[in-house]
Chain A
Amino acid sequence: MGAHNQGLEFRHVVKAYDDLCVFENLSLTIGTGEFFVILGPSGCGKTTLLRLIAGLEKVDGGEIWLNGRAIHNQAAGDRGVAMVFQDYALYPHMTVSENLAFGLRNMGVPTVEIAARIADTAKILAIEPFLDKRPSKLSGGQQQRVALGRALVKKPDLLLMDEPLSSLDPALRLRTRRELAQLSRSLSATVVMVTHDQVEAMTLASRIMVMHDHVVQQIGTPLEIFMRPANLFVAQFVGATPMNVLAGQLRNGSDGLAEMTLAGGAVVKTAVPTANLSEGLWRIGLRAEHVMLTAPDGGLSGVVDFVERLGEQSWVHVRLGDGSEVVAAQAGVSALQAGDAVGVTLNGAQAHLFDAAGAAYHAPEPA
């Protein structure tokens, strides 16, 4: 057995339902105090991962360790883990204060301490006014706070959250997201949160794990995930609009950097070193803010398909000569109209390259 690390550790975890293998061999370490976000589309296995940690599902192989204890064979209630459920799962026939007390009473916490802990938690989450109400009398946002309170009042070693903001309306979601960020910083609790919303992941996480089809795609800080996506899936899943991807021929440039020749004949000079890269059919990826639109100038050109005006910026969708589409970001309200002919300039210095299997190659990080 290896060293007993603090934090949460997955060692070669296997999980299967019937014939479907959810995790083949998952190893993962999450440090104490981290806000770890599991990000992925629906049905990618992220909630299963949370339920394995909570003890609501059994592992079929491997081990889960928490602060030096093997927890994968323990009952859910003995793991020192609390969870905020997607539908909150508050006890409908107990008051808010009874909801908070229930777990503590089952853990044998003395009555005086239960009262004190509930008072503290209620103050932090501003749920004092409705401690004596039933959950059904509360709004969605208030129920969400109570669900969080019921988890925090137990002072768990690890806090799990399953899409905690998904049933809130947009304004409330924004506010709660900010409060959650402040709260996790002030409590220095270890948090594992599942979400399909990449904005939540980017703003809350100390590290993000991107999952797709039960396979871990990348683990990294929000900035790493955004700036240096590991593969095509991550590149297109993370970001306000999916990364633009165009096919082309890769050629070694004279300066040791890759050049891409696109379908229309335009050449884009990238900052990606060509060492060990084979020439041939590759894909080039560029975020919308690195695509510039000009008057048609004889280079790469296309026709505006439609324009999404968000106010502070606009997304201009341009159909290129070969039928592929790129999205360009423009500050403010774009004056372009559907049908306008435009020249397209790609900022090759910011480009990413993807090989046939989708693996990404980036320009070296600036020193």
Chain B
Amino acid sequence: MTTRGAPKGWGNLLFALPFLAVYLWLLVYPLLAGIRLSLYRANLFGGEHFIGFENYARLFRDRTFIQALGNSLLFVVLTVPLLIVLALGLALALNRGTRFAGFMRSVVFASSVLSVTVLTIIWRQILVPDGGLISHFSRLIGQTPVAFLNDPKLVLPSLAIITVWWSLGLPMILFLSALQQAPRSVYEAAALDRATPWSIFRRITLPAVMPAVILVAAYECALQFQVFGQPQLLTQGGPNGASRPLVLYIYETGFNHWDIGYAAAASQMLFALILVVSLVPQAGRWLIRGRA
């Protein structure tokens, strides 16, 4: 850079400074502080000493951590594909100008505005075996009510369904806007070309919404790895840790056991996991672009 160019470049930086300052202070500094903390034995009362990677080594011997890691992975596998398929189906069904379709779009989106507290109150009343909505119907047909939230096999799928119901709105809106980008005349051309509904979907609609699908997949993976409120409020991670995901594990380790150095190490593992997983759809996009 020439001496004349340098001051001009620094002048431009001034405009980015307000953002950079907040970004460094609230995001980069805590990230680095967390990585540092993960290398210490530390508790909430202030004692800390450096132990290197001992916390990480301990994590891999910790059955509770391994169980929580498995729960988080399973939860993402249960929620994200289902979310994409259902949101895309709804977007396709509701992508029309009728008043009914507009009403239904609002209905589907409405659940997204609920806070997690309200969400869990609603679903507790649906799922509890003692007087819940579903148990009422089970009794009507002479079945024993199922304890969805106390059965280790059913608890995570139940939480997944609750979460999908809660989160459908945004992906649906994103898919709808992607669908509306495709001009109507292309579909008319396909009608003149005798295309079946399936080949229209596969060759025209799906490629048009693919970027939105990849975006939603990356975003929802990152989001669902951070699931916390639903198990915290509905199950407290039970029964026997069957519904304890990573964030709940980190929370309990840090704030119930006061072992914040260890909790910080678990947080770095979650960070790495989310980073890798949200890059997968991006890599998929590069592959698609490479073929074109």
By a beta-carbon cutoff of 8 Å, the part of chain A in contact with chain B is 54-56, 75-78, 81-83, 85-87, 89-94, 102-103, 106-107, 134, 150, 154
Q: How far is the CA of A343 from the CA of B13 in the complex (A)?
A: 73
User: Given A93-B207, A93-B208, do A103 and B185 touch, yes or no (CB 8 Å)?
Assistant: no
Is the pair B194, A77 in contact by a Cβ cutoff of 8 Å? Answer: yes
18 A-B interface contacts by CB (under 8 A): A55-B192, A75-B191, A77-B192, A77-B193, A77-B194, A81-B192, A82-B192, A83-B189, A86-B185, A87-B185, A89-B186, A90-B186, A91-B189, A91-B190, A91-B203, A91-B204, A94-B203, A107-B194
Is the pair A85, B193 in contact by a Cβ cutoff of 8 Å? Answer: no
Is the pair A92, B186 in contact by a Cβ cutoff of 8 Å? Answer: yes
Is the pair A85, B190 in contact by a Cβ cutoff of 8 Å? Answer: no
Q: How many whole Å from B182's CB to the nearest CB in chain A?
A: 8
Segment 181-208 of B: residues with Cβ below 8 Å from A? 182-183, 185-186, 188-196, 199, 203-204, 207-208
Instruction: Point out the residues of chain A lying under 8 angstroms from B208, CB to CB.
Output: 92-93
Is the pair A56, B191 in contact by a Cβ cutoff of 8 Å? Answer: yes
Is the pair A102, B185 in contact by a Cβ cutoff of 8 Å? Answer: no
User: Given A93-B203, A93-B207, do A106 and B189 touch, yes or no (CB 8 Å)?
Assistant: no
Q: State how many residues of chain B have any CB contact under 8 Å with chain A.
A: 19
Which residue of A56, A78, A83, A91 is within 8 Å of B194 (Cβ)? A78
Instruction: Point out the residues of chain A lying under 8 angstroms from B186, CB to CB.
Output: 89-92
Q: How far is the CA of A68 from the CA of B251 in the complex (A)?
A: 78
Instruction: Let me know if B17 is at the binding interface, CB within 8 A.
Output: no
Which residue of B183, B196, B204, B292 is within 8 Å of A87 (Cβ)? B183
Contacts A54-B188, A89-B186, A103-B194 known; 16 new A-B pairs at CB < 8 A: A56-B188, A56-B191, A77-B191, A77-B193, A81-B192, A83-B192, A85-B189, A89-B183, A91-B190, A91-B203, A92-B208, A103-B192, A103-B195, A106-B199, A134-B292, A150-B189
User: Given A93-B207, A102-B203, do A85 and B188 touch, yes or no (CB 8 Å)?
Assistant: yes
Q: How far is the CA of A184 from the CA of B96 in the complex (A)?
A: 39
Q: How far is the CA of A18 from the CA of B128 in the complex (A)?
A: 52
Is the pair A106, B196 in contact by a Cβ cutoff of 8 Å? Answer: yes
Segment 266-292 of B: residues with Cβ below 8 Å from A? 292
Instruction: Point out the residues of chain B lying under 8 angstroms from A94, CB to CB.
Output: 203
Instruction: Point out the residues of chain B lying under 8 angstroms from A103, CB to CB.
Output: 192-195
Is the pair B183, A54 in contact by a Cβ cutoff of 8 Å? Answer: no
Nearest B residue to A85 by beta-carbon distance?
B185
Q: How far is the CA of A106 from the CA of B188 in the complex (A)?
A: 15
Q: How far is the CA of A103 from the CA of B193 in the complex (A)?
A: 4
Instruction: Point out the residues of chain A lying under 8 angstroms from B292, CB to CB.
Output: 134
By a beta-carbon cutoff of 8 Å, the part of chain B in contact with chain A is 182-183, 185-186, 188-196, 199, 203-204, 207-208, 292
Nearest A residue to B207 by beta-carbon distance?
A93
Instruction: Point out the residues of chain B lying under 8 angstroms from A154, CB to CB.
Output: 193
Instruction: Point out the residues of chain B lying under 8 angstroms from A107, CB to CB.
Output: 194
Q: How many whole Å from B54's CB to the nearest CB in chain A?
A: 52
Chain B CB within 10 Å, residue with most, of A81, A85, A107, A150: A85
Is the pair A106, B203 in contact by a Cβ cutoff of 8 Å? Answer: no
Instruction: Point out the residues of chain B lying under 8 angstroms from A81, CB to CB.
Output: 192
Instruction: Point out the residues of chain A lying under 8 angstroms from B185, CB to CB.
Output: 85-87, 89
Instruction: Point out the residues of chain B lying under 8 angstroms from A83, CB to CB.
Output: 188-189, 192
Which 8 A-B residue pairs are closest in the complex by CB-CB distance? A77-B194, A103-B193, A93-B207, A89-B185, A106-B194, A89-B189, A76-B191, A85-B185
Q: How far is the CA of A274 from the CA of B191 in the complex (A)?
A: 55
Q: How far is the CA of A221 from the CA of B108 in the complex (A)?
A: 58
Is the pair B195, A54 in contact by a Cβ cutoff of 8 Å? Answer: no
Nearest A residue to B206 by beta-carbon distance?
A93
Q: How far is the CA of A56 from the CA of B195 in the complex (A)?
A: 14
Chain A CB within 10 Å, residue with most, of B182, B188, B190, B192: B192
Is the pair A102, B195 in contact by a Cβ cutoff of 8 Å? Answer: yes
Instruction: Point out the residues of chain A lying under 8 angstroms from B191, CB to CB.
Output: 55-56, 75-77
Q: How many whole Å from B285's CB to the nearest CB in chain A?
A: 14
Nearest A residue to B196 by beta-carbon distance?
A106
Q: How far is the CA of A77 from the CA of B196 in the complex (A)?
A: 10
Nearest B residue to A137 by beta-carbon distance?
B292
Q: How many whole Å from A192's CB to the nearest CB in chain B?
A: 14
Is the pair B188, A89 in contact by a Cβ cutoff of 8 Å? Answer: yes
Q: How many whole Å from B263's CB to the nearest CB in chain A?
A: 47
Q: How far is the CA of A91 from the CA of B195 in the complex (A)?
A: 12
Instruction: Point out the residues of chain A lying under 8 angstroms from B196, CB to CB.
Output: 106
Q: How many whole Å from B236's CB to the nearest CB in chain A?
A: 48
Instruction: Point out the residues of chain A lying under 8 angstroms from B199, CB to CB.
Output: 106
